[in-house]
Amino acid sequence: MEVGVDVTFSVTVSTEPNQCVCVTGDDAALGAWDPTRMVRMSREFTGNGSRKLWSTTIKLHTHKTYDYRFVVCKDSHARSTKAETNLRNGNSTNNGHGHSDMDCSSSDPSPVTIYKWETNVRPRVFKLDGSAARPILPEATFGSYDGMTNINKGYLINQCEIQIRLHSSPIYMWKPKHREQTYSIKCTAVDYSQQGAPEDDDDSRDSPPLCQPNDVYACNVNDHELSVAQPQGPVGLIYKQNDYIVFRSQMPDPATMGFQLDFYVFEANQTPKFVGSSHLLPHKQKDSQVIRKVPIIGCKYRPIGELTVECLIARPVKGLTLTLESSFQTHWKKKDLERGMERSLDIGHRGMGASYSRVSTLKENTVASFAAAATHVMMRLFGHDKKGHLFRFSSVTKLKIGNLIPSPGISLVSAYLSWLPLSSSNSTSPPFPFSPIRFCEITVAMFYIGQGADFVEFDVLLSKDKIPVVYHDFAVKVLYSNKKKHSKESELFEIPVQSLTLAQLQSMRLFSGEHDVEINKEQEGQCVRHDPFPTLQEVLTSVEDSLGFNIEIKYPQQLIDDTWEMENFTDVNENLDQILRVVFAHAGPRKIVFSSFDPDTCILLKLKQNKYPVIFLHQGQTNIYVRYKDHRASTFGWGINFALSEHLLGLALHTEVLLRDLSLLERCFAHKMVVFVWGDDNNDPKIIRQMRDLKVDGVIYDRIDCHKPEHQGPEFQVSSAKAAASFMQVVKGDGNASVHIFDADCQLTKPVA
């Protein structure tokens, strides 16, 4: 029988009073990467008075290699004293039923809150060869090893997180003189779990007990020095004009936890003075995003003002098991060329690029489009004969990038290529002499010789039956022409994607108006790879996993004119839960980056999973699109602060706005943030070269936004009266849907009354 040895682990790290340090690893004695079974370490008092050293001793088997990481979490003493004693004495923690006494993943697991953990891609490693009786591992520095330092914030395990946000002049005092004063706000969690319980039968009218002050962290997104959440001071944070204060706390059940917000007035040369409080009762609604107004009660127990707060509830994904074994959320490795030089990644927008508004053989957002972006160009080719007449090949010409050579002086990133036949026998010569051939779209497959795209970017949202589908808009525009009525008018259904089932979405055909996309008849009735609205699962399982996915999560926002991109949308938690379950079930080894224009979606993507990085998509103060009302989505400066506050990997910036102030790139790079660029400007080869020279991490090509005029017409059509009737039923029951009448030239004439 093999005998174990006591191994001592130690690490130096700064912690707050309510925090402790744990170790986890790939062995059962180390918790098997399970965050509910981590081994708690003890604080050591060193001779110099420092309290940063933590250590523990664990019995492990010899002649074995171990992987491990250190984690800083809430000091809830989740493990039983018996289990800790057994472990230190070298006894087995197995209870005879295959479970450890430290296994908190039972029917009633103890709450686990992780504040930060080591996230180098490869964990720490050591080997026990049996040469030492009581091996002591070298004292570690938290997060730093193998020449790298990567520390990530925690994620949701078995608790929820509530964010309370104050911005846009949230404090309104009733007396005018009080409105001119400066206030600080301190937020404290209040435990209501025992209110109304049978055992609470005393006659006391005392309020529920306050939680530990350090249970609530705070940050000011608009203040660079305070943009990262940290414990509050004695009087909280000062609110000034244009500030964006966020209080955050994790708890098992938001329905039993409330908050008390205390207000202090600041006056010159005086100690902050307490003037009143507001109380947020437990959140018992299903909505994840709410705006609440509560009175500010003064010292004489009378209302003196009103407070407006935004609340966001983040819930863990049920059924999704997340371990501490690996994470790529803080990891980004630039692509190397043959000579070891770094280069920007090529990211194809919607696969091979937008096609509903431009001529293309491959439809955008289809499995075939994504597959083509990874391997080759498969498109209709255009050119001019010697007389200048436009011609087009009558059949689809399939060309691998390796069979194309640019003319002298013409870069392959140009939209115009000359056909120079290769010596190989499979090279195809043009049918007659002509000037340079033009690809109908600039697509990412043109820019990466021999390898295809590095990533493809596409949008995901839910159908009515909660199936994640790939599509670029919140609504579809479907045309129906009743040939039996011999009318020159047609009905256009504009229906939210979330109001149509997957079967209804996939029943539509690409619109084939005179000035729209020409349908390749050979594709009609072929395999599902060319059909619109592929499911996320189908894309993940059908496209080779060497192609990375930049998955943009669609979620509507409020615009600067107070309108919404879409109303009555699926709850933000439910929307992400459905998508994340599919991704984690079918992603395999594929590289994935999540992104979204919605800041709250980015927050939840970071909290709900610990594996894939998150990028904040930002359009900035654009002159092309309607701007967003959310401060965090308003300017690049706000976006950078927000990304730092939420520990996101980086941002995807709009090229049009970035070109006005390139110094923003330096700020991003100074904080080691990954930067992608997107926008219609990226269709210009000169801009692409400029972005690469600026060392951006990724260039998204062919960014054609859904709000541009060419996208306002119909994109799909239904040919049967039965299908049209089913769509009309959806319109009648959905306030976001509408029907319009189009004339023979597909021009809007009037809405249906």
pLDDT(444) > 70? no
Model pLDDT, residue 508: 83
pLDDT: which is higher, 439 or 719: 719
424 and 481 share one domain: no
387 and 508 share one domain: no
Chain mean pLDDT for the chain? 78
310 and 201 share one domain: yes
CATH number of domain containing 11 = 2.60.40.10
Q: Which of 111, 127, 153 is the last residue of a domain?
A: 153
Q: Count structural domains, the chain.
A: 4
pLDDT(439) > 50? no
Tell me the CA distances in angstroms from 218 to 214, 247, 640, one per residue in order.
10, 4, 18
* Whether the Cβ atoms of residue 593 and residue 548 lie closer than 8 Å to each other: yes
pLDDT digits (tens, 9 = 90+) for 530-542: 578 999 999 999 9
Q: Which uninterrupted H or E stretch holds 725?
A: helix 721-732
Nearest-angstrom CA–CA distance, 178 and 643? 34
Stretch 617-635: mean pLDDT: 95
Q: Tell me if 744 is assigned to some domain.
A: no
Model pLDDT, residue 452: 56
Centre a 10 Å sphere on the Cβ of residue 124 and count the other Cβ atoms it contains: 19
198 is in which domain, residue-wise?
160-314
pLDDT: which is higher, 511 or 447: 511
Percent of the residues in the chain that have a pLDDT greater than 90, as a whole number: 56
Stretch 328-350: mean pLDDT: 72
Side chain identity at residue 528, one-letter code: V
Torsion of CA 644, 647, 652, 658, to 10 degrees: 10
CATH number of domain containing 169 = 2.60.40
Q: Tell me if 739 is assigned to some domain.
A: no
Q: Tell me if 529 is assigned to some domain.
A: yes
Model pLDDT, residue 349: 67
339 and 464 share one domain: yes
pLDDT(514) > 90? no
164 and 20 share one domain: no
Residues near 724 by beta carbon (within 8 Å), at least 6 away in sequence: 480, 482, 491, 493, 718
* Burial of 540 per CB tally in 10 Å (0-12, 13-18, 19+): buried
599-608 helix and 572-586 helix, angle to the nearest 10 degrees: 50
Q: Tell me if 565 is assigned to some domain.
A: yes
498 and 633 share one domain: yes
pLDDT(113) > 50? yes
134 and 188 share one domain: no
143 and 266 share one domain: no
176 and 129 share one domain: no
Q: Which of 99, 131, 153 is the last residue of a domain?
A: 153
Q: Tell me if 386 is assigned to some domain.
A: yes
CA–CA–CA angle 544, 548, 552 (5° rounding): 120
603 and 669 share one domain: yes
Q: Tell me if 219 is assigned to some domain.
A: yes
Model pLDDT, residue 448: 30
pLDDT(331) > 90? no
308 and 169 share one domain: yes
Model pLDDT, residue 683: 86
Side chain identity at residue 641, one-letter code: N
Tell me the CA distances in angstroms from 60 to 130, 135, 260, 275, 695, one per residue in order.
10, 10, 47, 57, 47
pLDDT digits (tens, 9 = 90+) for 8-64: 999 999 999 889 999 999 999 999 999 999 999 999 987 665 679 999 999 999 999
pLDDT(469) > 70? yes
pLDDT: which is higher, 382 or 76: 76
597 and 704 share one domain: yes
pLDDT(399) > 50? no
Side chain identity at residue 331, one-letter code: H
Q: Which of 130, 153, 176 is the last residue of a domain?
A: 153
Tell me the CA distances in angstroms from 697 to 120, 167, 496, 692, one per residue in order.
20, 32, 34, 8
Model pLDDT, residue 739: 65
Centre a 10 Å sphere on the Cβ of residue 546 and count the other Cβ atoms it contains: 13
CATH number of domain containing 647 = 3.20.20.190
Residue 226 tokens read as 């305070």
pLDDT digits (tens, 9 = 90+) for 477-505: 888 776 555 556 677 888 999 999 999 99
pLDDT digits (tens, 9 = 90+) for 563-620: 999 999 999 999 999 999 999 999 999 999 999 999 999 999 999 999 999 999 999 9
* Whether the Cβ atoms of residue 642 and residue 636 lie closer than 8 Å to each other: no
Pick from 107-116, 524-533, 658-667, 710-719 the range whose average pLDDT is largest.
Answer: 658-667
Percent of the residues in the chain that have a pLDDT greater than 70, as a whole number: 69
C-alpha 363: how far from its chain's center?
A: 26
Model pLDDT, residue 383: 38
E-strand ranges in 583-645 read 592-596, 614-618
Residue 711 tokens read as 């996208």
Q: Tell me if 217 is assigned to some domain.
A: yes
* Whether the Cβ atoms of residue 48 and residue 28 lie closer than 8 Å to each other: no
Q: Which uninterrupted H or E stretch holds 39?
A: strand 39-40
Nearest-angstrom CA–CA distance, 113 and 235? 24
Model pLDDT, residue 522: 44
pLDDT(720) > 60? yes
Q: Tell me if 118 is assigned to some domain.
A: yes
Residue 533 tokens read as 């609205």
Place 656 in a pLDDT band, splitting at 50, 70 and 90: very high
663-670 helix and 636-645 helix, angle to the nearest 10 degrees: 10
